[in-house]
């Protein structure tokens, strides 16, 4: 059996935290702005819509660094990396809203995806600064 390194454990905890943050913020967004962010559908209750959306968005975000490495891109600036993650958040939310039948997540317009994506990006960046940067990520 392969031994799990400390860095892998810290990385897993960070992604679990980001999953929780995404879910909470998406759910709060739907509570605060119910006309703009809709969770749930005929098949999924609203809490499950938030969980599915958060899980899928976190899965998409977890592939950013492997794609950057596969493309041999050198990004050393934290601000630029934050902009990349913000763009992925926005596009990911927009795509998940387009498949609302499966994700249980809907938005009124692309502007909602932009604002929610920026809010999620700032929260993710804060969690990365607090819990991820120390582990060598």
Q: Is 90 exceeded by the pLDDT of residue 62?
A: yes
Query: Domain residues for 43?
Result: 18-135
Crossing angle for the helix pair 46-61 and 6-32, nearest 10 degrees? 140
Domain membership flag for residue 7: no
pLDDT tens for each residue of 72-131: 988 888 888 899 999 999 999 999 999 999 999 999 999 999 999 999 999 999 998 888
87 located within any domain: yes
pTM over 0.85: yes
The count of structural domains within the chain is 1
Per-residue DSSP letter, 63:
T
Paired tokens of 128: 């990365």
H or E element in which residue 101 lies: helix 100-103
Asked, for residue 67, whether it belongs to a domain, the answer is yes
In which region does residue 71 sit, left (phi positive, over 0), alpha (psi from -120 to 50) or beta (all else)? alpha
């Amino acid at each position: 059996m392969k031994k799990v390194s400390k860095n892998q454990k810290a990385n897993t905890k960070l992604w679990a935290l980001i999953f929780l943050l995404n879910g909470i913020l998406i759910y709060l967004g739907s509570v605060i702005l119910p006309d703009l962010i809709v969770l749930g559908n005929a098949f999924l209750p609203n809490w499950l819509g938030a969980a599915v959306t958060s899980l899928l968005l976190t899965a998409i975000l977890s592939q950013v660094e492997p794609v950057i490495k596969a493309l041999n891109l050198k990004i050393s600036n934290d601000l630029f990396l934050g902009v990349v993650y913000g763009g992925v958040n926005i596009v990911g939310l927009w795509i998940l809203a387009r498949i609302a039948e499966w994700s249980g997540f809907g938005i009124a317009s692309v502007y909602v995806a932009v604002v929610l994506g920026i809010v999620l990006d700032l929260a993710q960046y804060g969690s990365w600064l607090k819990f991820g940067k120390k582990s060598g990520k």
